[in-house]
Amino acid sequence: MLQQTQIARVIPKWIAFLERFPTVADCAAAELGDVLRLWQGLGYPRRARNLYEAAGEIDRLGTFPDTLEQLLALPGVGAYTARAVLTFAFEADAAVVDTNIARVYARVAGHRLTTTQAQAMADASLPLGDSWRWNQCLMDLGATLCRPVPHCADCPLRSTCAWQLAGCDPVLDPAVGSAGVSRPQSRFEGSERQARGRLLKALTAGTVRVDDVSKVMQHPAAMRLVEALCAEGLVRLEGKTLRLP
Which CATH code fits 99-172? 1.10.1670.10
DSSP 67: S
| Long-range residue pairs from 159-163, CB within 8 A, at least 24 positions apart, any chain | 160/108, 161/107, 161/108, 161/110, 162/107, 162/108, 162/109, 162/110, 162/111, 163/106, 163/107, 163/108, 163/110
CB–CB of 186/212 below 8 Å?
no
Question: Per CATH, is 7-64 categorized as 1.10.340.30?
Answer: yes
The SS3 of residue 241 is strand
Instruction: Give yes or no on whether 99-172 and 192-243 have one common fold.
Output: no
Q: Please, is 203 exposed, middle or buried when counting C-beta atoms within 10 Å of its C-beta (0-12, 13-18, 19+)?
A: buried
pTM: 0.83
Cα distance between residue 34 and residue 75, in whole Å: 18
Give the pLDDT score at 167.
93
SS3 129: coil
What's residue 95's pLDDT? 97
Question: Domain spans of the chain?
Answer: 7-64, 99-172, 192-243
- What single letter denotes the amino acid at residue 4? Q
The whole-number pLDDT of residue 188 equals 78
From residue 214, alpha-carbon distances to 40, 85, 186, 225 in Å are 20, 41, 22, 10
Q: What is the pLDDT of residue 185?
A: 67
- The rounded average pLDDT for each run of 10 residues, N- to C-terminus, in the chain (245 residues) is 88 96 97 95 92 97 95 95 96 96 97 96 96 96 96 94 94 93 77 92 94 94 94 94 95
Distance CA 120, CA 126 (A): 10
Cα distances from 188 to residues 49, 194, 211, in angstroms, run 21, 6, 25
Q: What pLDDT, on the 0 to 100 scale, is given for residue 91?
A: 95
Q: 130, 61, 146: which is closest to 91 by C-alpha? A: 130
CATH node for 192-243: 1.10.10
